[in-house]
Amino acid sequence: MSFFKKLFGSSKKKDISSTNDDTLKDDNLIDKSKPPINKKKSNTKKQVVEKDFFKENQTDIKQGKFDKNASFVNKSSDLKKEKVSKKKSIYKKEVVLNKPSDNKKIDKQTKKSIFSNFFSKQKKQSLDKGLEKTSSSFFNKISKVIVGKSKVDDEVLDELEEILISSDVGVKTTLKIIDRIESRVSRDKYIGSNELDIILKEEIIGVIDSGVENQFIISNKKPHVILVVGVNGVGKTTSIGKMANHYKSLGLKVVIGASDTFRAAAIEQLEIWAKRVDVDLIKQEMGSDPASVAFDTLESAINKNADVVLIDTAGRLHNKVNLMNELGKIKRVLQKKNTDAPHEVILVIDGSTGQNAFEQAKQFSNVTEITSLVVTKLDGTAKGGVVLGISDQFKIPIKFIGIGEGLEDLQLFNKKEFVNSFFNKSKKY
């Protein structure tokens, strides 16, 4: 039994279709020996007769025998132009109909199509790249553990336990995962080392909080107010800018409120992001009352019929009493305009800080109710396992993860896609 189990004990719990394309071809290419292929038979027959008649009389027309009926030539030519014009207009109409709607509201069908495409090929590649350091480190360690092993035994599990803890998954979450794997090994009697990654993947997915399924819900009573909290330096301001871009890309109107009036660069940074994303920013002077800024932001959003409000807050944690009072005052002021506000309180934490991220989540959870998390800077660290531990220990769903510097590199968290990318290097061993 490992040192951690002795110390903590076991946590075991039981095409475009060919519509009238023939009409655009040259007359000489028509094979009269075969019937034209077209679903609209009557129109095609009439068209072929007109073309045959025109072809049979081409020589006579050139010789001037049909001078009196020259109008026939013009009519035939006009007929062709008219049909071509109709086809073009139909094509244009189809293109226009396929353009995205200008309507700011997202109906259920649009939402379904948007959310089903969250992990496009490009986004999946970005996620794989962002978690490359964590994945490489994790599987390099595992490959050394199972080399030469034909089955998963106690020795393998003890070493796997150490790997998970060193990857900042956390002791309690690690013990839970190991206990579940031990149960499966005991039940199935024999599990080869080549099956370990499959079992480990399934168990890791199992410990991630599934409350994230509610992340797409936007309040019916506009605007949907999101309060963003977090200590200075975790990427809170940057995350707000990227979240604004995300919601705007869904066709929603966004307003940002600069309620962090204590940090010198906070307001200037939000101004840059608001201009970059092209959304409205409500601000006051440095040192202003944060609650006053929040109130002005919500009032402006209501007047502008905005869909989403993102409010930045001070990142001070050295005095929890003052922070608690400040957040409480902001909530009370917001509720004067919207009794349900704020609809979300999102905590931004730095994934690269490992166990410090645990402490941040713990401290803020004691101060205010946290509805979801944003885990940033996962691309620059091998400590991506912190996502698993925080989600499991605090039972707070993860809403976004930051995997790069680009606007699109703040992705909605999908636990299956995250774990798949986490295991992206499994073929190494």
Q: How far apart are the first and last CA of the chain?
A: 26
For residues 389 and 102, the model is more confident at: 389
Q: Which of 100-104, 174-178, 209-213 has the lowest mean pLDDT?
A: 100-104
Closest CA to 240 of 224, 251, 252, 229: 229
More confident call, 397 vs 14? 397
254 phi/psi in degrees, rounded to 5: -120, 140
In this prediction, residue 293 carries a pLDDT of 97
- Whether residue 100 is preceded by a cis peptide bond, meaning omega within 30 degrees of 0, is no
* Residue-level pLDDT at 81: 52
Average pLDDT over residues 326-335: 94
Which pLDDT does position 281 carry in this prediction?
A: 98
CA 114 to chain centre: 9
Percent of the chain with pLDDT over 90: 31
pLDDT at 233 over 50: yes
Residue pair 84/23 in contact (Cβ under 8 Å)? The answer is yes
Average pLDDT (327-344) is 94
Task: Give residue 5's pLDDT.
Answer: 57
Residue with token string 């909530």: 331
Q: What is the mean pLDDT of residues 242-248?
A: 96
Beta bridge partners of 401: 375, 411
What's the confidence (pLDDT) of residue 225? 97
Give yes or no for a contact between 312 and 267, defined as CB atoms under 8 angstroms apart: no
Question: Global pTM?
Answer: 0.69
Query: Average pLDDT over the chain, rounded to whole?
Result: 74
Above 90 in pLDDT, residue 291? Answer: yes
pLDDT by residue (tens digit) across 175-195?
A: 999 999 888 888 876 677 678
Q: Which of 61-75, 345-359, 387-401 has the lowest mean pLDDT?
A: 61-75
Determine contact, residues 178/399, Cβ cutoff 8 Å.
no
Buried b (16+ CB within 10 A) or exposed e, 274-306: beebebbbbbbeeebebbebbbbbbebbeeeeb
Q: How confident is the model at residue 8 (pLDDT cuts 50, 70, 90)?
A: low
What average pLDDT does range 223-228 have in this prediction? 97
